[in-house]
């Protein structure tokens, strides 16, 4: 009996030592996992902080550009029937009877006079922000109508050619203005003329297309926010 109890005692001691080793291993693993979790949480917090910095910087830049344009042009908007959108940084001319004759791409004299006044001042106002500007998109928009004898598809593509021709005319005209000759290289690199046809109509309160308001020309600033986000995240 004594020898038997002795053997059982040795067995119990061996078992306790084995469980102690497993317990030590589990404790070590828990510490490792806890360290990984803390490190991950810290990384996530740092990334969230960086993203907040990006959002704040982007918003501040948007507001600064908008404020500069509004300060310069606030007294001209009504007489030009123009508006500036803070969210899209779009400078929009909304008088189709002033811009072009119906179905034509040649700029009317009144719009030429507006562009001669507007564009040099516009270029000067955005000059301090060039490092944050990816491009200026000169957008042409039309209504969806094109007579009564063509299909909807033909009307769309006819208006596409019309809107593209109009923005090309505007770009060519402002490019040749004598007092912006020193900015021509920047203009070639950063201003794109795009015709949207009737793809982005203006919808009125009755949820119908406002044909007159849909015919417009817009200078829209596209910032390089994605590039700036990448730079901040790489720091």
Question: What pLDDT is stored for residue 55 in this prediction?
Answer: 63
Identify whether the C-beta of residue 105 lies closer than 8 Å to the C-beta of residue 168.
yes
DSSP class per residue in the chain = -HHHHHHHHHHHHHHHHHHHHHHHHHHHHHHHHHHHHHHHHHHHHHHHHHHHHHHHHHHHHHHHHHHHHHHHHTTTHHHHTEEEETTTTEEEE--HHHHB-TT--SBPHHHHHHHHHHHHHHHHHHGGGGGGEEEEEEEEE--S---SSS-HHHHHHHHHHHHHHHHHHHHHHHHT-GGGGGGHHHHHHHEEEEE-TTSSPPB-TTSSB-HHHHSEEEEEEEE-HHHHHHHHHH-
Distance CA(230)–CA(108), nearest Å, equals 44
Distance CA(155)–CA(16), nearest Å, equals 88
Residue 166's CB is within 10 A of a number of other CB atoms, namely 25
Question: What pLDDT is stored for residue 5 in this prediction?
Answer: 46
| Lookup result for tokens 């404790």 | 27
Taking only Cα atoms into account, the Rg of the chain, rounded to an integer number of angstroms, comes to 33
Mean pLDDT, each 10-residue run in order, the chain (235 residues): 51 53 68 75 67 68 94 97 94 92 94 97 96 94 88 94 96 95 95 95 89 93 75 60
Longest CA–CA span in the chain (Å) reads 120
Q: Which of 193, 186, 51, 204 is nearest to 130 (CA)?
A: 186
Residue 5's CB is within 10 A of a number of other CB atoms, namely 9
């Amino acid at each position: 009996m004594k020898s038997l109890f002795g053997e059982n005692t040795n067995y119990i001691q061996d078992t306790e030592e084995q469980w102690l080793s497993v317990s030590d291993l589990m404790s070590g693993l828990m510490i490792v996992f806890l360290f990984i979790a803390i490190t991950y949480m810290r990384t996530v917090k740092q990334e969230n902080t960086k993203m907040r910095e990006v959002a704040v910087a982007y918003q501040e830049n948007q507001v600064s550009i908008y404020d500069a344009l509004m300060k310069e042009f606030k007294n001209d908007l009504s007489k030009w029937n123009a508006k500036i959108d803070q969210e899209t940084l779009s400078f929009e001319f909304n008088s189709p009877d002033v811009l072009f004759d119906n179905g034509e791409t040649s700029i009317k004299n009144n719009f030429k006079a507006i562009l001669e006044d507007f564009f040099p001042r516009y270029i000067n106002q955005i000059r301090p922000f060039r490092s944050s500007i990816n491009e200026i998109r000169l957008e042409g928009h039309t209504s969806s109508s094109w007579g009564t004898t063509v299909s909807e598809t033909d009307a769309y593509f006819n208006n596409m050619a019309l809107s593209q021709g109009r923005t090309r005319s505007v770009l060519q005209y402002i490019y040749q203005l004598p007092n912006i000759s020193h900015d021509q290289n920047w203009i070639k690199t950063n201003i794109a003329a795009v015709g949207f046809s009737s793809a982005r109509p203006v919808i009125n309160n009755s949820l119908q297309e406002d044909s007159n308001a849909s015919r417009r020309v817009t200078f829209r600033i596209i910032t390089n926010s994605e590039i700036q986000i990448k730079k901040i995240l790489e720091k």
